[in-house]
Structure 1
Amino acid sequence: MYAKTLYCYILLVFGNGVLWTNHERRIPFVHATQIVFTNVQCHSENKTLCEFKQCELKLLKRGFSELNIYLNVKQKADNVTVRAELFRKTNGYTPFMYNFTVDFCDFKRNPQRNPVLHIFFRFLERNSNLNHTCPYDHDVILKNFVMPDGVLMLLPYPKGDYMVQLNFAARNKWLIFVKVFVTLTE
């Protein structure tokens, strides 16, 4: 029941604006049905606090790849902030729809406060060890992650190339930068 209500809310708030915008520009709106990872880039600003051991895509078959990230955390992180941004490729990557900055520890305690991030992290937690609140005093592992097609039923997007940029800060310093490039197709 909650998911159905959330879907209706998101569709009313975001979906109508997208459809109206596309109608005004005379661009046909085609909902994407499949998410394909095309590239991933990871960067750690301070390697004495945390360091990426693995950051790669594993090709399963044509059009299907798994995302694998292994972050070696060397010091306990109990004050974590995350900034999530969505970019769409149009003559370079331009901001598209979402730009959130949230206290990650508070978000993990109360995920319903940010429904869009909650939908994303609900799928992410299935293949990672990010399933608890702060503090994080262990390595962060995302293994064999494939974005399920069902997420596009909850959050419809037009087809095209996108970049999801996730920046993580600990103790009010931006330390971790992850860019995931995806293509949404029919």
Structure 2
Amino acid sequence: MVSQIRLVQLFIFLYLINQISSKVEFTNIQCTAVDPEFVNFDYCFLKSVNRTYKYLSLKAKLFKIPFTKIKVNVEIFQKLNGYKPFLYNITVDACKTYLRNPKSNLIFQFMHNLFQSYSNMNHSCPYDHDIMLEKLSVSFIDIQLTKVLPVPRGDFMFHSNWIAYNKNRATVNVYASLS
């Protein structure tokens, strides 16, 4: 009888643990055109439609197209007395390596999958059009960062440098909080 009670208590405990979940929220986005003769941002914003639906959108206007040499540097920071490096700092040659063979870098593939279905950055080079990220919802990111790859709680910054022809052309910083 005691073992049956313990078994029921264990099931209730496991159920309650399953009900506790983390939540991701976008807190800010900053898009900077380092070389305004090469690229400029038409828009770069967060929009909160209601308490549960918030999304991120940006559009980078490219002036010297087509692109054939693109590198992307992505670094993740966690806020601990200022932003400190956290886990990854990777640079990928998007044209030569990654877009031709996405499995060449699994970490970058995971990061790219966070926004790929909301963006037009989903084919190999050359790029001869503006880059857009439309209505990337926080709920999609929430599932990826809490269910697929559990990330600890805290405030984070996803910093990216967009490098074309070996010069940094733009930076995008996305700030998020995981509670």
TM-score (norm 1): 0.79
Paired with 2:151 and 2:21, the residues of 1 have a C-alpha distance of 6
Percentage of identical aligned residues? 36
- The residue number in structure 2 matching 1:67 is 56
Give CA-to-partner distance per residue, 1:123-172, whole Å, 9 cap, x none.
31111101101111100010100141321222211111000001010000
Q: What CA RMSD, in Å, does the superposition of the two structures yield over aligned residues?
A: 1.5
1:116 aligns with 2:107: yes
Partner of 1:150: 143
**Residue pairs, 1:13-92, within 5 angstroms:** 33-62=22-51, 64-75=53-64, 76-92=66-82
Which of 155, 169, 172 is the equivalent residue of 1:175? 169
Q: What is the CA-CA distance between 1:32 and the residue it aligns to?
A: 6.4
Matched residue type, 1:122:
N
User: How many equivalent residue pairs?
Assistant: 155
Distance 1:71 1:32, change over 3 A: farther
Q: Cα 1:91–1:32, aligned 2, differ >3 Å: closer, same or farther?
A: farther
SS of the residue aligned with 1:36?
A: strand
For structure 1, the residue ranges without an aligned partner over 5 or more in a row are 1-30
Query: Do structure 1's residue 96 and structure 2's residue 90 form an aligned pair?
Result: no
- Offset at residue 121 of structure 1 (A): 1.4
- Deviation track 1:57-89 (CA, whole Å, cap 9, x = no partner) reads 011223542111000011121100100000000
User: 2:150 is paired with a residue of what secondary structure?
Assistant: coil
Q: Are 2:128 and 1:137 aligned?
A: yes
Q: For the residues of structure 1 that align with 2:53 and 2:77, how far apart are their CA atoms?
A: 21
Structure 1 window deviating more from structure 2 (91-100 vs 117-126): it is: 117-126
Cα separation, 1, equivalents of 2:156 and 2:38: 30
Contact 1:32/1:184 (<8 A) preserved: no
Structure 2 length normalisation: TM-score? Answer: 0.82
Q: Distance in 2 between matches of 1:74 and 1:137?
A: 9
Amino acid at match of 1:61: N
Q: Does 1:159 align with 2:160?
A: no
Query: How far 1:46 sits from its partner (Å)?
Result: 1.4
Q: Distance in 1 between matches of 2:176 and 2:21?
A: 12
Pick the aligned partner of 1:125 from 101, 116, 121: 116
Unaligned runs of 5+ in 2: 1-19
